[in-house]
Amino acid sequence: MARGPAGGSARLAALAALARPGSGSWEAGGGGWYAFLRPVILQGLTDNSRFRALCSRERLLASFGDNVVRLSTANTYSYRKVDLPFQEYVEQLLHPQDPASLGNDTLYFFGDNNFTEWASLFRHYSPPPFGILALGLGTCWLQDPIVTSCSCQQRWFLYPPEKAPEFHPNKTTLAWLQDTYPALTSSERPLECTIRAGEVLYFPDRWWHATLNLDTSVFISTFLG
């Protein structure tokens, strides 16, 4: 779980360059080539409305507030880990991002999960038909192949492997968006999209990606080996 920047709740439309195949096109062969070439947003794969309802702040705190969770730093390498009760994380650390804060000083709940303790939540999640789930929250620039199913609004920035972005590994995506992004020419800018509740974003191996939460965010990520 993570929160977006202050005032960052504006609805951002996906660019046409990032395709949303229509219903049935994947099975019909209309989207299979995306697996190796480019990102794609998939819709209507599963119904996770019950899971999204259980991911509200109030319900998560009521069910899991006393659970100890392992937090990671929100920079590119995420070396430092901190253990805290989930309620303390939500109530004391989950606040809008300060553009001046560094990623290595920002903690978020990503990846290090005790599935036994969270089983009562995970059993309501229907994963896409090609993945193994892991609970994940927001990232700076990384290169893992990934599938993300969102219960929020989350803006994504993506570059192909051969087009590495210029970024400081300890600065946040918000700082990059404010300081670096405006100076980029149209040819230098990444592919961009906003995924919303019920949508799934897939992108191939080695694609650079960064995220910006537009509101309080819970999402499931599947890392593909």
Q: How far apart are CA 97 and CA 219, in angstroms?
A: 18
3-state secondary structure of 101: coil
Q: Is residue 204 part of a domain?
A: yes
Q: How far apart are CA 74 and CA 63, in angstroms?
A: 25
Q: Is residue 20 part of a domain?
A: no
Q: Which long-range contacts (CB under 8 A, 24 or more apart) does 54-60 make?
A: 54/121, 54/124, 55/121, 55/151, 55/218, 57/1, 57/90, 57/216, 60/1, 60/86, 60/90, 60/121, 60/218
Return the CATH number at 144.
Answer: 2.60.120.650
Residue 19 has pLDDT above 70, yes or no: no
More confident residue, 134 or 129: 129
Q: Is residue 9 part of a domain?
A: no
- Structurally, the chain folds into a number of domains equal to 1
Q: Is residue 25 part of a domain?
A: no
- According to DSSP, residue 54 is labeled H
Q: Which domain holds residue 168?
A: 35-94+102-223
Q: Is residue 194 part of a domain?
A: yes
Q: Is residue 200 part of a domain?
A: yes
- According to DSSP, residue 135 is labeled E
pLDDT of residue 180: 92
142-169 per-position pLDDT tens digit = 555 456 666 678 889 999 988 988 887 7
Q: Is residue 182 part of a domain?
A: yes
pLDDT of residue 88: 93
